[in-house]
Amino acid sequence: MCGIFGIVSDSSLDIKKLARVSTILRHRGPDDEGYLLFNKGTSAYTIANGADTISSVNAKSILSCSGYNSAFLHRRLSIIDLSSAGHQPMSYDNDRFWVVFNGEIYNYIELREQLIKKGYNFKSTSDTEVLLASYKEWGQECVERFNGIWAFAVWDKLKNCYFLSRDRLGVKPLYYYCKNAKFLFCSEIKGIREYLNGCLTLNERYIFQYLIRGRIVTGESSESIFDEIKCLSAGTNLMLMNDRLLETKYWNISLNTNEFKFNENVEKFRELFLQSIRFQLRSDVEVGACLSGGLDSSSLVTFASSTFNKRFHTFSAIWPGEKCDESYYIEKVNTNCNCYSSAFTPELSNLISIIDQEIWHQEIPLSGSSAIAQWFVMAKAKEKGVKVLLDGQGADEILSGYPYYLTPFINEMIFSFKWKELLKYSSSLKNSGYSTKWFLSIQRYRFVSPFTRPVFPIKKSLLSRYRFGTKQQNGYICSSLPKFLKDHIEKSNLPDLLHYEDRNSMAHSIESRVPFLDHNLVEFAVNIPSEQKIHGALTKIILRESMKPFLPEEIYNRTDKIGFSTPIERNLFNKGGKFYYRALDYVENSDLNKMGVLDMQLLNENHIFGLYTLAKFIDMWS
């Protein structure tokens, strides 16, 4: 897991700027640093070292180089093949192909064996070299053979073309800029911004989206926080050749409900989950796990511990005395699996400083305090020296874990004439607070969602500028559960969670892996018949049943859904909270308020945390 940057240009390369980009990306890869300098349109190139380059790599200093107009830059977090053989930028086939790669190809061992049978030779045991050999053998179609998470760029020196790719679910980020005869790409926006001296325009649409919807929805388009920078979409390739860009979508979730019986789907899910964990435990450094105490992370830890006889280091933020505290369930898992537990209550005395750091790393305002809790968990893992963490992200989206998935589920049952399924669990719905009136009311939102008032108080005269959320993007959004899940995975929900996951982990030089998001598991889970996923008000039935032999009974039987909640906003940013007046004062004197978009008379304590993070974001990134 690493940080990558590249520039392809007709103009002379600014070496000092390139070195500054490396410094600004250091958190993504503190273990090693490498450069490839070359001239666009020719075969001239050289490799160079930086201050953090490992000593066994023999090359001249980047600061002594000149005469080039293009470059690849790599910051390495060493996970697989820790030797200098894994150094990047890496070449293959007598230096014809060069790559900078962020991520992991989990099935690299199997691909390596296939390629050896075809006559390929390897100098390292790294997945990066397998990636290069795969590109030589299969071209752009190589990504369809990969099981993993990635963002990479390959330069084919012979054809003078550049091939970039992002993994199917968008676990790893990739941004690019193409203007004024310059093409730049980077793992984080701040790298491109640094090289361009900050000469970019803040995306006003993002600001209004946050004010109206309460968050920035990162997966709905290729937009970024700056008008000039685009985000390569998940499951997409990008080719640069002859100064022309061509994007190609190579993967989408296909909807095709399977015909298997419930028990067959339970077994198949367990089999695919096992394969995903087996792949994602591959590492030459310690692999730990995030443990919240909920069904998802508990399933991951208990199943992996039992199946692979592994004693995990687990990391958990706990909140004693609060409703959101899950320490009871966390302790159950840790005890049952004999884990090395790091369950802790975050120290919040310097919280404002932490929030400011996180906004810089996230490159978006925070939509809630759960991201802060995740920040503390990653920091604890770094403190304990664990460089790879498994996380339960994505289980809710692929297996219908949130209560609001009941709306598309019920609509699907009604309009698919599966009324017996509803009647079978009607008492469960009523006992969980879902009344007949609620049941009937959701029918009118089958195709169009109700208009939602803005989350934050903005002036009425500005409401017409951006009407986010008045209608769902797709008319069928509430008509069936699989379509709703597909939308949440590809556009509206999961991309945001993965954005936070990547930035929080990499801010602490941690590689985060998400076994529930193996693409084979995702495609299978989304297409399990809806009535097998939800029984009345009880969700994620397939996961519960497949993990029943491994889970503590108390967790298997849990029906409450806490999520990754924290008491931070309620206790510290509401009136009487330690940071309330400090945050309010900041908002009142911020550029956000000077923009004249807020109706300060309607401001209440529930708005303070969100408006503080937006105001800080604008001041930091404008």
Model pLDDT for residues 205-226, shown as the tens digit of each residue: 899 989 998 999 999 899 999 9
Question: Is residue 364 pLDDT above 50, yes or no?
Answer: yes
Cis preceding linkage at 482, omega within 30: no
What percentage of residues in the chain have a pLDDT greater than 90? 79
Q: How confident is the model at residue 582 (pLDDT cuts 50, 70, 90)?
A: very high
- Of the listed ranges 193-202, 322-331, 495-504, 553-562, the least confidently predicted one is 553-562
Question: Helix 494-507 to helix 351-362 angle, to the nearest 10 degrees?
Answer: 110
Q: How confident is the model at residue 406 (pLDDT cuts 50, 70, 90)?
A: confident
Residue type, 296: D
Q: How confident is the model at residue 104 (pLDDT cuts 50, 70, 90)?
A: very high
Taking CA atoms, 574 is separated from 245, 264, 320, 568, 609, in Å, by 49, 50, 20, 9, 8
- Of the listed ranges 303-312, 438-447, 522-531, the least confidently predicted one is 438-447
Question: Where do the structural domains in the chain lie, given as residue ranges?
Answer: 2-200+229-249, 262-399+488-556, 577-621
Q: What is the pLDDT of residue 422?
A: 76
Question: Is residue 566 pLDDT above 60, yes or no?
Answer: yes
- Of the listed ranges 18-32, 228-242, 400-414, the least confidently predicted one is 400-414
| Topology at the third CATH level for domain 262-399+488-556 | Rossmann fold (3.40.50)
Question: Is residue 306 pLDDT above 70, yes or no?
Answer: yes
Residue with token string 């500054």: 20
Mean pLDDT on 399-405: 89
Measured distance CA(543)–CA(179) in Å, rounded: 47
Answer yes or no: are the C-beta atoms of 557 and 319 closer than 8 Å.
no
> pLDDT for 435-465, tens place per residue?
666 766 666 555 545 456 789 999 887 777 6
Mean pLDDT on 502-509: 98
Taking CA atoms, 27 is separated from 24, 218, 351, 589, in Å, by 8, 22, 20, 32
> pLDDT for 105-136, tens place per residue?
999 999 999 999 999 999 999 999 999 999 99
Token representation of residue 477: 């959004």
Give me the chain's average pLDDT, please. Answer: 92
Q: What is the pLDDT of residue 407?
A: 84
What percentage of residues in the chain have a pLDDT greater than 70? 94
CATH, domain range 2-200+229-249: 3.60.20.10
Residue with token string 């999961």: 494
Q: How confident is the model at residue 420 (pLDDT cuts 50, 70, 90)?
A: confident
Question: Is residue 478 pLDDT above 90, yes or no?
Answer: no
> pLDDT for 80-94, tens place per residue?
999 999 999 999 999
Residue type, 176: Y
Q: How confident is the model at residue 474 (pLDDT cuts 50, 70, 90)?
A: very low
> pLDDT for 585-620, tens place per residue?
999 999 999 999 999 999 999 999 999 999 999 999
pTM of the model: 0.95
Question: Is residue 466 pLDDT above 80, yes or no?
Answer: no
> pLDDT for 340-351, tens place per residue?
999 999 999 999
Q: How confident is the model at residue 178 (pLDDT cuts 50, 70, 90)?
A: very high
Strand partners for 246: 239
Longest dimension (CA), the chain: 75
Q: What is the pLDDT of residue 482?
A: 93
Q: What is the pLDDT of residue 470?
A: 40
- Of the listed ranges 144-158, 426-440, 442-456, 462-476, the least confidently predicted one is 462-476
Measured distance CA(345)–CA(327) in Å, rounded: 10
